[in-house]
Amino acid sequence: MLLVCALALLFFQSGADPTTVDPRDSKIVHLAKKNRNLTLENAKLKEKAAAAAAAATKQAAEVIAGV
């Protein structure tokens, strides 16, 4: 429901008539936004995993150097 209200507001601001909006178009917009959010979240998680791997490698090198 919130998405429909947001789309109606968007079309109102752009001057389009919200009653003529194809539901398939609104679904495409919704999926595109979802895809963008998931892509950003995936990039953040990849960066976090790379940082954790680098820290683990550094810690392992310190342990080996100390032995």
pLDDT tens track for 15-59: 656 567 788 888 999 999 999 999 999 999 999 999 999 999 999
Global pTM reads 0.60
For residue 4, tell me if it sits in a domain. Answer: no
Structural domains in the chain (count) = 1
At 66 the pLDDT is: 81
Length of the chain: 67
When comparing pLDDT for 13 and 32, which is higher? 32
Q: In angstroms, how far is the first alpha carbon of the chain from the final one?
A: 62
For residue 5, tell me if it sits in a domain. Answer: no
Residue 25: domain span: 20-66
For residue 53, tell me if it sits in a domain. Answer: yes
At 21 the pLDDT is: 77
For residue 44, tell me if it sits in a domain. Answer: yes
From 30, 28, 29, 7, select the one nearest 18 (Cα to Cα).
7
Distance CA 3, CA 10 (A): 10
At 67 the pLDDT is: 67
